[in-house]
Structure 1
Amino acid sequence: MSIRSDLLVERLDPVLRVTFNRPDTLNALTPEMLHAAADAVEAGGGDPDLRAVVITGAGRAFSSGADLSVRADPSYKGGSGTLDGVNRLVRALREVPKPVLAAVNGPAVGGGCSVALAADVILARESAYFLLAFANVGLMPDGGASVLVPNAIGRARAARIAMLAERVPAPLAADWGLITHVVPDETFDSEVEQLAARLAQGPTVAYAQTKHALNAATLGQLEQAFAIEMAGQTMLTGTADFAEGVAAFLQKRKPGFSGR
């Protein structure tokens, strides 16, 4: 078992469990924790004894998305570190030749939503929800969401939740096909264990080839999406709307966007 202040990595043979571990911030994402998670997943891909990966969050949330509080720090110099980390982790989850289960224990927001949707099997608590909150701070979806989401639920629904930043409750997400499973809160932990065990006992090589084929058929534009999202976010972080969105978020008020 490897423990960081922000990430818990456990090897529960033959399952690797990766847990975002910043419950006081609802597991807000930092570059360091994202790269550490990607390190663990990538290393697991080369382990012949590993049969499945579980990714989840500690406490009440899967992840609240990027940690915007760092932008209030006078030492903040900008940059794309968090997005680099999200992209790397999403890529690792798609490319690792093992089945990946996202155990969505609570809200999956922003980049955290992208990470959850990158899994092969997505099991959520009934009380959980999915939210592309980027528009609320003057940004666009990233982490491959511009490919992951419409490929799951179609362009119209993707535009709706991306532009209106609407929460998608877990039962609705399952109905739409955004996720694979939704279970009652009280049985969530046992369902995660059972489903992880089932995947770990399955035909790992066949799973890897199935995953490769599904990636080729549905996510062939993922790398292009990463590049387009990176360019778009880089431009958007320099806008007045983004500055206003972050200020409003930190001050817990409604933003007043100017379109600039």
Structure 2
Amino acid sequence: MESRYLLLDVSDKVATVTIHRPDKGNALAPDVLDEVAAMFTSLGQREDVNVIVFTGGEKFFSAGFDLNEIRKLEKVSNEAYIALFHRAYRAVLFCPQPVIAAIGGPAIAGGFDLTMMCDIRYASARAKFGQREVVLSLTPIMDPLWRIIGLGRAKEVALTGRIYGAEEAQRMGYVSQVFPEGELLASVGAIARDMACHDRTTLAETKRLSNQVLNMDLDGAMRMQEWLFRSYIGSEDNHLRIDALQAKLAAARKEVSVTR
């Protein structure tokens, strides 16, 4: 697919999607959102992609809404623009493959919301986070934010509109790990490639399960997890991967014994 504001690289079963609007801090104009929705919908159908890395590069993720575009809106003419935002959000959130956000710099307002839609978030030490909608007299996205950091902390993020550094975002559980400035993409790429070696269907089912169990009672969640586990254990791929792991462990033990 042709994209003006997104760069795509696919290798080793990892698709890296980079927002590329550097003159505007990767701000989310309608064309950018349209491309995000189309890109993730397309990637979700690709058999050669097991994991997706979503980034804005080492300098920033996205400065958020393109305020010049929002300023043009009126209440009677905003429906299409709002629908576009949520179409882009849903394309990332419900993409079948795991989506990793690699956040190199500011992820503010709509940019923050996009990182929220990803399954895992890693950040550079220079990253900044802020749900700034309240500052613009707009209401924020609380779900899935509260599922990630808890309701009390999500209320603080939404109601204060303040900016958080990478270390604080990690402490609140929003970011899984913080890497030194300039080392983000290489570090996240290694994690993604390792993850992409796993079975594609198992990765997709695990992501889907993690979204579904939140809305189930404990008994229902346990039954679904049992059913899924029974569906995979004993399969040909399960046997092949057990054999490969045992061979790898045997080789490692042999190497240790030789060095001794």
Normalising by structure 2, what TM-score? 0.75
Q: Give the structure 1 partner of residue 133 of structure 2.
A: 134
Q: CA deviation at 1:75?
A: 11
Q: CA deviation at 1:13?
A: 4.5
Q: CA deviation at 1:186?
A: 3.1
Letter in 2 for 1:126: A
Is structure 2 residue 60 aligned with structure 1 residue 61?
Answer: yes
How far apart, CA to CA, are the structure 2 residues paired with 1:59 and 1:23?
Answer: 11
Q: CA deviation at 1:170?
A: 1.4
Is structure 2 residue 17 aligned with structure 1 residue 18?
Answer: yes
Q: CA deviation at 1:207?
A: 1.4
Give unpaired runs (5+ residues) of structure 1: 221-260
1:206 pairs with one of 193, 197, 202:
202
Is structure 2 residue 7 aligned with structure 1 residue 8?
Answer: yes
How far apart, CA to CA, are the structure 1 residues paired with 2:113 and 2:177?
Answer: 17
Q: CA deviation at 1:175?
A: 1.4
Contact 2:40–2:92 (CA under 8 A) maintained in structure 1:
yes
Q: CA deviation at 1:9?
A: 2.5
Q: Give the structure 2 partner of residue 162 of structure 1.
A: 158
Q: CA deviation at 1:219?
A: 6.9
Cα distance change of structure 1 residues 151 and 192 upon mapping to structure 2, 3 Å threshold: same
Letter in 1 for 2:173: G
How far apart, CA to CA, are the structure 1 residues paired with 2:65 and 2:215?
Answer: 23
Bigger mean CA offset, 64-73 vs 193-202:
64-73
Contact 1:38–1:89 (CA under 8 A) maintained in structure 2:
yes
How far apart, CA to CA, are the structure 1 residues paired with 2:28 and 2:213?
Answer: 30
Q: Give the structure 1 partner of residue 105 of structure 2.
A: 106
Which has the greater radius of gyration? 2
Q: Give the structure 2 partner of residue 194 of structure 1.
A: 190
Q: Over the residues paired in the alignment, what is the CA RMSD in angstroms? A: 2.3
Number of equivalences: 216
Is structure 2 residue 178 aligned with structure 1 residue 182?
Answer: yes
Contact 1:3–1:9 (CA under 8 A) maintained in structure 2:
no
Normalising by structure 1, what TM-score? 0.75
